[in-house]
Chain A
Amino acid sequence: MMAELPLALFTTLAPIGAGAFIALAVAFFTTKFSDEQLKKIDRMTTIPVVVLVAGFICAFFHLASPMHAFGVFAGLGASPLSNELLAGVVFAVLAIVYWILALAGKLGEGARKGFAAVVAVMAVVFACFTGAAYMMETIASWNTPMVPVAVLGFSLLGGVSLGVLVLALSGVLEDAAKGGFKMAALVVLVIGLVLGVAGLLVQVMSVSGMGNALVDGADLVAAASAPMWIGVVCMVVAAAAAFMALRNSKSTALAAAAPVLAIVGVFAARLAFYAVQLSVGLYVG
């Protein structure tokens, strides 16, 4: 379990950081912000960027030889991990370029919308690939589309929570919540919650019927159930907090609570995920 901590942090932080860009794109499409507001938003975008970078740093520390990391794309196409990292790098580069251009004031309204949309789509792709990287035939308990579904859900749920915080800290949430953003964000939030919680529950619970020569799936599920339920509760509460923040858009406390709860919840869910790793054969962690 300890060995998986950096990975659990990576797969928590990076998709949530990425998801925040989805929320921002939604905001740009649903709300017309003033230049002043946009400036504030761009400055506060530092937060998701930091979350994202922290995620990647965790991944980096998971490697025994990070010095060789430039070779990770040699397996492109074949290795799901290479694919994930490519998606991650493409996303990160796009997001950061977008952010720098935005900060520099180089993005007009159309360009901003277009660029933000591309970044958002790439965030979805990255989240899916992050989950898909765990789908391998020889790990029966992970070899299900529920895994990318869940990670996408985490990304949307956590991303909207984080995005709402960005808007709140930028002082624009009230304006945004008056318009279409509230509804749109709510829809993404609910989709995220449903995908995340259902993906997690379906994937973890299905393990109880599995087993190999070393372990019984049911034992793994029993061991994973505490973090799983913590994850579910935290995610539900996070969604509720984000929803309330949207309704009561003056409360930064609620807006801040949502992403923190989301991160805790997703992290717990990820721990549950690693705890149910079950090989089709022999595997000792």
Chain B
Amino acid sequence: MTQKAFFFHGQRCTGCKTCQLACADYHDLSKEFWYRRVYEVCDGAWKQDSDGCWTADTFAYYTSVACNHCDDPACTKVCPTTAMHKDSETGLVSVDIDKCIGCGYCHMACPYNAPRVDRKKGHSVKCNGCAERVAEGKMPICVEACPMHALEFGDVDEMKKKGEQADFAPLPEKKYTSPNLYASASEHAVPSGSEKGKVMNPLEVM
């Protein structure tokens, strides 16, 4: 098996959300079921001096997150039906819609906010790594869409060469699921769990 992985170039990402919407276009998703979401982390305090001048230590950065097709997926572990499964060839994690009962445990367990239950469809839905495109030798839609070339996809050994396994806010510590998300983090990135690592666009990632 060759495990597939994403590489995320945090130093390039501008938070434009093209990845998210290209995915939504291709997979015909509505707002409730984005497969990819872009998180804004931001913090800072303002000080005014006696002349009325302002200084701030504000920083901000964006992180584009879908399913990371983890080595140790939290979603498959809790899935009672094995509908959520890891492909033996590619390591991509996806939902077998004939098995899924839509219990939502994968949704609860995943610390990357990836799966959701679509009650209309009757099963959970999430990024499948554009498996059908990958099988044809194409890139996932989101990767090909990013105007900043901040997303890459390929064999994990290749992605590993480009950066570290993602371990910065707003993501969970990598130890939980060992995500196949490698990254060159923004210079502003703060560690997972940091006080300053709060998501500032909660309404956009619901």
Q: How far is the CB of B144 from chain A (nearest CB, A)?
A: 25
With a cutoff of 8 Å between Cβ atoms, the chain A residues found around residue B122 in the complex are: 64-65, 67
A68 touches B100 (CB 8 A): yes
Q: Enumerate B66-115 residues with CB–CB distance to A below 8 Å.
A: 74, 77-83, 98-105, 108-113
Closest to B103 in A: A63
Binds B, one of A75-83, A123-131, A260-268: A75-83
A282 touches B82 (CB 8 A): no
Binds B, one of A136-144, A155-163, A185-193: A136-144
With a cutoff of 8 Å between Cβ atoms, the chain A residues found around residue B41 in the complex are: 213
Complexed CA–CA distance, A265 and B199 (Å): 35
With a cutoff of 8 Å between Cβ atoms, the chain B residues found around residue A62 in the complex are: 103-104
A interface bracket (residues with beta carbon within 8 Å of B): 20 to 34
B101 touches A137 (CB 8 A): no
Q: Tell me, yes or no, whether B65 is within 8 Å of chain A by CB.
A: yes
Closest to A80 in B: B78
Complexed CA–CA distance, A66 and B206 (Å): 26
Mark A80-119 against chain B: 1 for CB-CB distance below 8 A, else 0. 1110010000000000000000000000000000000000
Q: Tell me, yes or no, whether A1 is within 8 Å of chain B by CB.
A: no
Complexed CA–CA distance, A283 and B199 (Å): 11
Q: Tell me, yes or no, whether B119 is within 8 Å of chain A by CB.
A: yes
A281 touches B80 (CB 8 A): no
Closest to B77 in A: A78
Complexed CA–CA distance, A282 and B79 (Å): 19
B111 touches A214 (CB 8 A): no
Complexed CA–CA distance, A136 and B173 (Å): 15
A65 touches B169 (CB 8 A): no
Q: How many residues of B contact A (CB 8 A)?
A: 47
B101 touches A213 (CB 8 A): no
B177 touches A282 (CB 8 A): no
Q: How far is the CB of B68 from chain A (nearest CB, A)?
A: 10
Complexed CA–CA distance, A143 and B172 (Å): 15
Q: Enumerate B140-177 residues with CB–CB distance to A below 8 Å.
A: 169-173, 176-177
Complexed CA–CA distance, A68 and B81 (Å): 9
Complexed CA–CA distance, A163 and B197 (Å): 51
With a cutoff of 8 Å between Cβ atoms, the chain A residues found around residue B173 in the complex are: 280
User: Known contacts A213-B199, A214-B170, A282-B113; is A65 also within 8 Å of B77 by CB?
Assistant: no
Q: Tell me, yes or no, whether B17 is within 8 Å of chain A by CB.
A: no
Q: Tell me, yes or no, whether A277 is within 8 Å of chain B by CB.
A: yes
Complexed CA–CA distance, A63 and B102 (Å): 5
User: Known contacts A138-B176, A139-B109, A213-B41; is A281 also within 8 Å of B171 by CB?
Assistant: yes
Complexed CA–CA distance, A75 and B105 (Å): 12
Return the 6 tightest CB-CB contacts between A and B, nearest first.
Answer: A64-B102, A281-B111, A281-B172, A213-B170, A282-B113, A65-B122
With A64-B103, A64-B121, A281-B192 known, 9 other A-B pairs at CB within 8 A are: A63-B103, A64-B123, A68-B100, A72-B101, A74-B80, A74-B99, A79-B80, A214-B202, A282-B170
Q: List 22 A-B contacts (CB under 8 A).
A: A62-B104, A63-B101, A64-B102, A64-B119, A68-B98, A71-B82, A71-B83, A72-B81, A72-B101, A75-B78, A75-B79, A80-B78, A81-B78, A137-B74, A213-B169, A277-B108, A280-B173, A281-B112, A281-B172, A281-B176, A282-B65, A284-B205
